[in-house]
């Protein structure tokens, strides 16, 4: 059996092992495959029966021409890079990797918030360049420092990651209010379920952890920003399309939104004309919330288990049933 990994570097830049996959058959791992050249994608898959992809797209044309394919393992939670309907029509099973990065992503959301509150990176650089040594005062700070205890965080999307974020925020002394279409008992122990409108109106910090659906696309927009408190902070390490980027940039530049911490944008990698690149007090990171080694190990293990289950006619985490 031939197994191809189209873009293995993102998951494993060299600090993990592919050995567990090699036991299933002949394994070929490409660090990167073109995101736009479908002919290259098809050529690299060739006659493989098993393919793993992270961000390399697999449109319908791939399934029309790679006739040996039986299984596609997406090395991520989101699977929009694969035409799952085309795969289903060809009888090809597609799986994803849920829940592997819950704690890592929740931690990163709070890390973005803490950076906004304290500008630690900036002040670290200031010390290293000699400003503290030469300063006339005992200490200095270039930005307002913000204490989170007593402030309200509104979390939109209160599944596993939202709840992980909420637990940390609660430990910091924040009041946690949440909005989710499916309230549950575990969530009620962490925060108060409210309407989305109440989140917009009451929260000092709004953190997005919801899937991308028609009902959530563009929820951070001019109309909804106007409902928010002046000086609100917005965090998004869920999906870039939840934000209307020009509207958020405008609100940052006017000060209506004090700051934004974003690990995702609408088009990734980010384009040079993205208005958020020039917006005031906008903290941007390159979609790395999921990427601690511990989280990636978990992802690798689940990918192996997914394939093993498929080969034993007991497929799990199937997204195109």
The span from the CA of 42 to the CA of 48, in Å, is 10
Burial 129-146 (b: 16+ CB within 10 A, else e): eeeeeeeeeeeeeeeeeb
> Mind giving me the DSSP string for 242-274?
GB-HHHHHHHHHHTSEEEEEES--SSSSPPTT-
Active site residue 287: yes
| Pick from 260, 193, 250: nearest CA to 221 | 250
Reading the block at residue 158, the tokens are: 């209160």
DSSP state of 229: P
Can you name the residues that pair with 73 across neighbouring β-strands?
Answer: 52, 95
Q: What angle do CA 39, 40, 42 make, to 5 degrees?
A: 65
The span from the CA of 11 to the CA of 293, in Å, is 9
Active site residue 22: no
Active site residue 49: no
Instruction: Note the Cα 212 to chain centre separation in Å.
Output: 11
The one catalytic residue in 239, 245, 296, 298 is 239
Bridging pattern class, strands 232-236 and 205-208: parallel
The span from the CA of 3 to the CA of 50, in Å, is 5
Q: How many CB atoms lie within 10 A of CB 19?
A: 9
Catalytic residues: 239, 268, 287
């Amino acid at each position: 059996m031939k197994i191809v990994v189209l873009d293995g570097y993102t998951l494993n830049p060299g600090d993990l092992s592919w050995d567990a996959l090699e036991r299933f058959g002949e394994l070929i791992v490409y660090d990167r495959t073109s995101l736009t050249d479908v002919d290259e994608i098809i050529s690299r898959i060739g006659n493989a029966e098993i393919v793993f992809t992270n961000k390399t797209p697999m449109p319908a044309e791939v399934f029309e021409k790679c006739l040996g394919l039986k299984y596609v393992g997406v090395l991520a939670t989101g699977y929009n890079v694969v035409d799952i309907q085309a795969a289903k029509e060809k009888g090809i099973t597609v799986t994803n990797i849920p829940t592997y990065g819950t704690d890592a992503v929740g931690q990163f959301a709070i890390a973005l918030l803490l950076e906004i509150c304290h500008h630690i990176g900036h002040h670290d650089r200031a010390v290293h360049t000699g400003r503290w040594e030469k300063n006339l005062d005992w200490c200095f700070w270039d930005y307002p420092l913000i204490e989170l205890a007593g402030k309200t965080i509104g979390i939109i999307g209160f599944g596993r990651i939202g709840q992980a974020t909420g637990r940390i925020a609660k430990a910091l002394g924040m009041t946690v209010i949440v909005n989710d279409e499916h309230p549950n008992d575990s969530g009620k122990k962490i925060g108060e379920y409210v309407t989305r409108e109440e989140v917009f109106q009451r929260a000092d910090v709004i953190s997005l952890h919801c899937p991308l659906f028609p009902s959530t696309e563009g929820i951070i927009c001019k109309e909804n920003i106007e409902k928010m408190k002046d000086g609100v902070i917005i965090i998004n390490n869920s999906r870039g399309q939840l934000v209307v980027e020009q509207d958020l940039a405008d609100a940052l530049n006017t000060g209506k939104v004090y700051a934004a911490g974003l690990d995702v944008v609408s088009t990734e990698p980010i384009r040079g004309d993205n208005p958020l690149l020039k917006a005031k007090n906008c903290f941007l990171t390159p979609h790395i919330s999921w990427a601690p080694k511990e989280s990636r190990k978990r992802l690798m293990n689940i990918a192996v288990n997914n394939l093993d289950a498929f080969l034993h006619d007991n497929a799990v985490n199937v997204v195109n049933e």
